């Protein structure tokens, strides 16, 4: 699932790479992807990256879509921040809108802008 978030952001930027091709091209079938792996793949795809450590109240400063580290074990795509609510696309659960309290239970404080 970890590479799915990168595939979603690639699609947003017009890169025609689907999840299967991303996984097979970069050998991600068995081990998933770390943040460092996502950065390396993004650079290989000619995307600029910026990894950040930030607090929840700083999410509105991020350039969306971007990738958030979630539940210590996967990544989601931040779609928008609006009036104290955030929309994310979670590859495991689909699109979700969360309040700040629920967000604080999932977001690890690490983000990747592309």
Q: What is the pTM of this model?
A: 0.91
Q: What are the tens digits of pLDDT across the range 86-113?
A: 999 998 899 999 999 999 999 999 999 9
The number of beta carbons lying within 10 Å of the beta carbon of residue 23 is 18
Counting the structural domains of the chain, the total is 1
Q: What single-letter DSSP state applies at residue 93?
A: T
Residue 1 has pLDDT above 60, yes or no: no
Q: Cβ neighbours of residue 61 under 8 Å, at least 6 residues apart?
A: 54
* Whole-number pLDDT of residue 86: 96
Contact 109, 64 (CB under 8 A): no
The number of beta carbons lying within 10 Å of the beta carbon of residue 58 is 13
| CA atoms of 43 and 68, how far apart (whole Å) | 18
Contact 31, 76 (CB under 8 A): no
CATH of the domain at 107: 3.90.70.10
Range of the domain at 108: 2-113
């Amino acid at each position: 699932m970890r590479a799915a978030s990168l595939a979603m952001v690639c699609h947003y930027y017009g890169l025609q790479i689907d999840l299967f091709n991303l996984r097979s091209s970069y050998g991600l079938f068995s081990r998933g992807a770390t943040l460092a792996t996502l950065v390396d793949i993004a650079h290989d795809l000619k995307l600029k990256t910026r990894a950040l450590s930030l607090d929840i109240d700083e999410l509105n400063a991020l350039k969306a879509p971007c990738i958030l580290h979630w539940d210590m074990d996967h990544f989601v795509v931040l779609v928008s921040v609006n009036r104290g609510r955030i929309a994310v696309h979670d590859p495991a659960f689909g699109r979700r809108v969360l309040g700040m309290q629920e967000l604080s239970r999932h977001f690890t404080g690490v983000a990747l802008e592309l």
